[in-house]
Amino acid sequence: MLELRKANDRGHANHGWLDSFHSFSFAGYHDPGHMGFGPLRVINEDWIDGGQGFGTHGHQNMEIITYMLEGALEHKDSMGNGSVIRPGDVQRMSAGTGVRHSEFNHSAAERAHLLQIWIMPDVDGIAPGYEEKRFSAAEKTGRLRLIASADARDGSVKIHQDASVYAGLFDGDQHASVELAAGRLAYIHVARGSLKVNGQSLQTGDALKVAGVTTLSFTDGDQAEVLLFDLPK
């Protein structure tokens, strides 16, 4: 199965200071056909106006990954962490038994553009945790670079789920192939640009749900930035 989800089919909420597209049901957007995919529960594409953001709020029992596309996001949490993340940075927060945090655009003038990703953990009630790492454009160019995994292999951030998240940049004749183990799911999200996956054309904001397929080929990129989620059922 290769099921295309067009960018314009996502949920959309414009709060003035926040313009957000929801790949799966979230907040006021509810679609029984798009509640998640495997343990992948949220992909929100957010544009946050300068000087604006999310005040202190809480989470529990969720693996939360922030992937920056443009601008800078300032983070503070109840674990004592405080940082500013920029394009190339990947932030992971394991909410576990409970954590409170805030997220604000670090710039007073420029918009911040990011993906916030929620993955349901395979165990509840763990101690909250935080991690961030930087992955250069060179590491992702013409290949899929592992950025999050259950075992933190290859320098990826650690998530508490049998899932692997990859990021890649593709342009021109750059291409890559990925083998999926039998019985695995995959979800592909195009953050920007365009490319083909197994011959299927994908544009900015499009996604592809994958099941029963063992080989994925990424070709014909046009300034494409793409995320691949290798997931259990």
- pLDDT tens profile 179-226: 999 999 999 999 999 999 999 999 999 999 999 999 999 999 999 999
Q: What is the pLDDT of residues 130-152, one digit of tens each?
A: 999 999 999 999 999 999 999 99
Radius of gyration of the chain (CA): 17
- Residue-wise pLDDT for 77-115, tens only, equals 899 999 999 999 999 999 999 999 899 999 999 999 999
What the block records as the tokens of 63 is 């693996």
Domain with CATH 2.60.120.10 in the chain: 11-134, 137-231
pLDDT in tens, 21-35: 999 999 999 999 999
**Are 135 and 145 in contact, with CB atoms under 8 Å apart?**
yes
Q: Structurally, what CATH architecture does the domain formed by 11-134 represent? A: Sandwich (2.60)
pTM of the model: 0.97
Task: Note the pLDDT of residue 115.
Answer: 98
Can you tell me which residue has the tokens 């414009």? 14
- Topology (CATH) of 137-231: Jelly Rolls (2.60.120)
Helices (H), the chain: 137-140
